[in-house]
Copies of this chain bind each other. A is one copy, B any other.
Amino acid sequence: MARNCRFAVAVHITALLATMEGQPCTSEWIAGSVNTNPVVVRRLLSALAKAGLVRSTRGSAGGSVLARPADRISLLDIHRAVDEDEEPALHNQPPNPACPVGRNIQSVLVRVMERADAARDAVLSTTLLSEVVGALKVEG
């Protein structure tokens, strides 16, 4: 998982939209709950909109709403929307091709990391935004 907090804030934002049930929310109001700057919220909303998860409208009485029900949005959808193209973290400089290990280590590592990432993604894909919202209510 990336070391930034985009995923956490994006889940926060979409959970807020889910609890507002179609009522458009402004980036300033959302920023009040996240405790950050409205532009940070808008950047994430923009990424979520490109992925088709939210819709935003400008102008007075504008704001953002979920583009589909919370039980049809998985945390993997959100993760891919805001942390796109996470490539495996390999060597900065290409290893020495004259060494049997250096020549092949990257392709072997990529295969392992793809399996590891797939296992993590499987958990995220079976966790729905609606479940997160439900868990929030239980906490009270």
Which residues of A are interface residues toward B (Cβ below 8 A)? 1-5, 7-9, 11-12, 15-16, 19, 32-36, 75, 88-96, 99-109, 111-113, 115-117, 119-120, 122-124, 127, 132, 135-137, 139-140
Q: Which residues of B contact A100 (CB under 8 A)?
A: 19, 136-137, 140
> A137 vs B93: C-alpha distance in the bound complex, in angstroms?
22
Nearest-Cβ distance from residue A32 to partner chain B, whole angstroms: 6
Could you show 16 A-B contacts with beta carbons less than 8 Å apart? A1-B117, A2-B89, A4-B89, A5-B90, A8-B89, A11-B105, A11-B109, A12-B95, A15-B101, A16-B101, A33-B95, A33-B99, A75-B112, A112-B127, A116-B123, A119-B123
Q: What copy number does this chain have within its complex?
A: 2
Question: Can you name the residue of chain B whose Cβ is closest to the Cβ of A135?
Answer: B108
